[in-house]
Amino acid sequence: MDAATLIESYATKSFPQYVIATYEYDMGTDSTAFISLSLPALYSAEPSYRESMRSQLTGKSYAIDLYNFNTSCDSTNFDIKVLSKGDESYVGTVYEVLTFLAINKFQTNAMERCIIVNEDAVMTNNLYLEIINHGSSVGNILIKLVYVTLQDR
């Protein structure tokens, strides 16, 4: 399984603190991919309101309340399935927590409550995506998450 590259991550100066993380993954001409997204967080011992923002957070989120899921790429028809367990065999089971079908180039989804807990046997700070392309070449896919950390380490 490949990992998407975490381009930037930061936390807002608000309560609750929203983490905004942007990822990139190059699918090239592949029609399917199963990738992981690491979920950064502020360490719980760090101050709640930061005086200086930084472009990479060093903590880890194991459970999140997802508020926004944005994605974009060159394909005019692709699907994304979000899993809480790191194995493709869990697609179509209770571990598939979100599904976005027939996305045309970009998708923005705002949610009221979408609590996701990593359910790997040994907890990791990852979400997993199955991406299926039905259209033209995907190339680079960008993913942006906005969430509140519910459990960190």
Q: Which domains does the chain have, with CATH numbers?
A: 2-46+57-152 (2.60.120)
What does the pLDDT look like over 23-66, one tens digit per residue? 999 988 788 999 999 998 876 555 544 555 556 677 788 889 99
pLDDT at 11: 84
Q: Can you list the pairs that 8-11 forms with residues at least 24 positions away whose Cβ atoms lie under 8 Å?
A: 8/55, 8/56, 9/40, 9/55, 9/56, 9/57, 10/53, 10/54, 10/55, 10/57, 11/41, 11/42, 11/50, 11/57
What does the pLDDT look like over 89-129, one tens digit per residue? 999 999 999 999 999 999 988 888 899 999 998 888 999 99
Residue 140 CA neighbour count, 13 Å, CB half? 6
